[in-house]
Amino acid sequence: MSSYPQTRLRRPRQQDWSRRLVCEQKLSVNDLIWPIFVCPGTNKREPIDSMPGVFRYSLDELAPAVKEAVELGIPAVALFPATPPDKKSSDGEEAYNPDNLMCSAIRVLKNLNLNLGIIADVALDPYTTHGQDGLVRDGYVVNDESVNVLCRQAVTQAEAGCDLIAPSDMMDGRIGAIRQALDAAGFENVLIMSYAAKYASAFYGPFRDAVGSAGSLGSGDKRTYQMDPANSDEAMREVAFDLEEGADFVMVKPGMPYLDIIRRIHDQFQVPTFAYQVSGEYAMMMGAIERGWLDRDKTMLESLIAFKRAGASGILTYFAVEAARLLQQQ
């Protein structure tokens, strides 16, 4: 390789056209998944204080919001319900009620006949009085009994019409069990996106506000089933098991603090790998943006291209609609 001054790496950076020619990664609207919170009632677009610019939508407000996303080219949305307190229980039976908020929202979107993937979250925390993702027995979140309930939840959501099941609970063996349950119920074409490497992170706080599980969880934590932020090799084992059990896609959550995990999964497994730019990441950036400390558009797009550079196939982000608008303008 020639040495300086014969080789000047700044030369291709001089003009817009040459920068575009040598750009290594491209962010596209096809990379974006929009997480949406749904709530009971009518005519509601409830702002979420800890997530500026993000709302909970009642079912009648869901259609116009999603239609805009489709017009912008966003390929999929991920639904999360803010379950009313009177529907919650210690065993989370509302999770597999065919008329619950999640299933009702799925049906609303399917009836629109849009070119849109509908992703349904599978976990019990929106439905339990204790805020844990599984069933609690003698103070411990039990695994196999929880998996049985998660299978019922997944099949109920598939019956409502969802296209992709996204288990976020981190119970051992749940991907294989859900795959078998879906297939046995005739839903062999429903996809599974596994939250394969989901860390016990401090960045989930605003999300728990949004779905109403923060008060239920209280001072509890999820460290007996979500991953230790210090661990990387363990994530590779989690991904390997989930792929062996039938996951079509895998996900890393949170996103930006775990770009190294995304890169390792991409390099080792070469499978569709998604990242969730979680509520705390969004809130952190929005806090600085609203104070004028960061440029909104530039910060948003730079944060998203980082996931592509790390090897992500796509990104779940609350910036999805805004980012899609910007990309359309470009």
Tell me the catalytic residues: 198, 253
Q: How far apart are alpha carbons 189 and 199 in whole angstroms?
A: 29
Report the SS3 class of residue 267: helix
For 76, the 3-state DSSP assignment is: strand
* Angle of the 174-184 helix axis to the 144-160 helix axis, nearest 10: 40
Q: CA nearest 204: which of 128, 262, 277, 278?
A: 278
CA angle centred on 218, ends 106 and 143, rounded to 5° = 65
234 in a labelled binding site? no
Rounded distance between C-alpha atoms, residue 120 and residue 126, angstroms = 13
**Backbone angle region of 73, left / alpha / beta, with phi > 0 → left and psi within -120 to 50 → alpha:** left
**Whole-angstrom Cα distance, residue 293 to residue 107?**
42
Q: DSSP letter string over 18-50?
A: HHHHT------GGGEEEEEEE-SSSS-EEE-TT
> What residue numbers does the annotated binding site cover?
238
Residues annotated in a binding site for Mg(2+): 238
